[in-house]
Structure 1
Amino acid sequence: IFDLVIIGAGISGLAAASAAHKTGQHVVVIDKGRRIGGRLSTRRADGFTFNHGAQFVTAKGDAFSAVLHAAETAGALARWQIADDKTAFAGSPTMRDLPVFMGQGLDIRQDMEIASIMPHPLTGTNNNGLCLTDKNGTNLLTRKLIVTAPAPQTARLLRDIEPAMAALADTALYAPCWTAMYGFDAMPIMPTLPIRNRDCAIGWAGLEQTRPHADQHYPAITIQASADWSQHWIEASKDEVIAALFDTLASETGVELPRPVMSAAHRWLYAKVIRPATIDTSIAPHGITNAGRSIAIAGDWLGGARVEHAYDSGLAAINALSI
């Protein structure tokens, strides 16, 4: 029996797990994906490396600042001048290196997708715990649970056992993001990168070699479409998106790119929080926990679009469960 199970190995889940682990709790993090980090994601394919999720991280508060500085000291982050007036932290050599640093020493289990959450009596006590069952029929017993999945997935998981918490998750709203990745056999001539323009079709375009400490051997460009463009193209095929964003980059920059030798696309349905959940006691009387304080929810969708919001939410969930 675990003291705490955390669903989701993104930044909020890793923050919560690390805090619980430091207090001596028997904690496990489970995730349906093959890699930790959520949207702090990196893809390697055909000799190319693409940071196709969050491009950088920043911190305003002391808690997340301490994590970023520790990661920088360990070589997992590096400072990056992304604009004349803005310096941020980039993963070193990839964005995935930050969650890998945060996950050191934690029990993290991948490829586990939870299908149901049910009350379960704890042996030798008068208290109920929880039984989590994954899609392969594997059961996990725990005293407490934190769900850090995106809001729509959190709502689906909690709809039957804690409908008020599911209703709270329903109040969050996301913008999607199409990301396209292009690999070249020769260095393309490019304007100043990265491009950052939320008002155009391309919200971000970056040459992977320009990232600090990049371990890229072959030239590669990552393009992230704006929220409006991504919503308009939400049902498009990957091939359509790859072609459209390639042509758009050329037209918006005036640069004629060579044809890529490889290309790929990824659709982030829950890329950016544009309306955080409304913490309203008329919807969820106990806020981010249930009445028995055995279940809590966490995620950037409870605070805002920044990675730091996810981190702070993970710590808030630990505090709400009195761990």
Structure 2
Amino acid sequence: MLNPAPVEVRTDPRTETILTGKPRPRGRLPQESRGYRTYLTVNAIALVIICAVTLYPFVTLIAQSFSSSGAIKAGLVNLLPVGFNLDTYHAVTNDVHFWRSYGNTVLYTVVGTLVAMVLTTLLAYVMSREHLRGRNVIIGIAVFTMFFNGGIIPNYVLISSLELKNTMWAVILPGAMSVFNLLVMKSFFESLPRELEEAARIDGLGWWGIFTRIALPLSKPVLATMTLFYSVQFWNDWFSAFLYLDQTDLYPLSLHLRNLIAGATTTTAESAAAVGTTSAAIKDNVRAVTMVLAIIPILAIYPFVQRHFVSGVMLGAVKG
């Protein structure tokens, strides 16, 4: 009797690792074709180019902040500082108004993000329920506000009539809810498995219990994303403060920097003179210095939020 020819069996590397308990040696998988390897190579090159183009402005900005004003005027600063200079940093950091506006921005961002997340999350969950009466009307009104609004003058009259001028609520409340973020969060809540809510209701949970103990724990990715969006929005907002705040002690950092660059304030020039630098020299690279100091908190927070962007929370919840 003839022996049958041996049959080659190929297993998935992850399955082989689970069955044998030993990790498969690194290297090219046998099923990788030449076209797939070409795709990986082209994809890697494209990502490197995109990263380089994205990082170039930031690296140049940092280099300008440490460069002399003459080098910046001559266009000599590219990726490395030319004429190393720390006088502008000394001038900006010695400005009392700068740190006061920094603290105001932190306060506005924390309180504004908290208020916005509470309002957006509650309304998005309610709008995601199909049995809600008038659901389509509410969604239509929300979408309508994306394309049409009252304008600057009616908003200014409204804030003034509510006696919110020269308060932090004039900066927080007008941007307390983004319709775009609301619709994104509503869509995410609609994708949650209805079986989990039905099981929770059988166990005796009400709608508030389902929302706090089922929906919110499963929504960490979208909550982290919306928190980042609102934080960046409040951190960079200067126009609301420009309209509704008249007291310089209430200015956020973005408005202070806007006035600083536009030459509306002379505090930096006085600080520059104190360290032996003229205001003309400060004028050329003060923008780079202030922008670097302004983006540091966002860059520090982003890595802790980014890890929630891609998550298998829903898959784990469905499988129990």
Give the TM-score range, shorter chain: under 0.3
**Structure with more strand by fraction:** 1
Q: Could you tell me the TM-score, scaled by structure 1's length?
A: 0.23
What TM-score comes out, normalization by structure 2 length? Answer: 0.23
Higher relative contact order, structure no. (Cα contacts within 8 Å, ≥ 6 residues apart):
2
Look at both structures and tell me which one has the larger radius of gyration over its CA atoms.
2
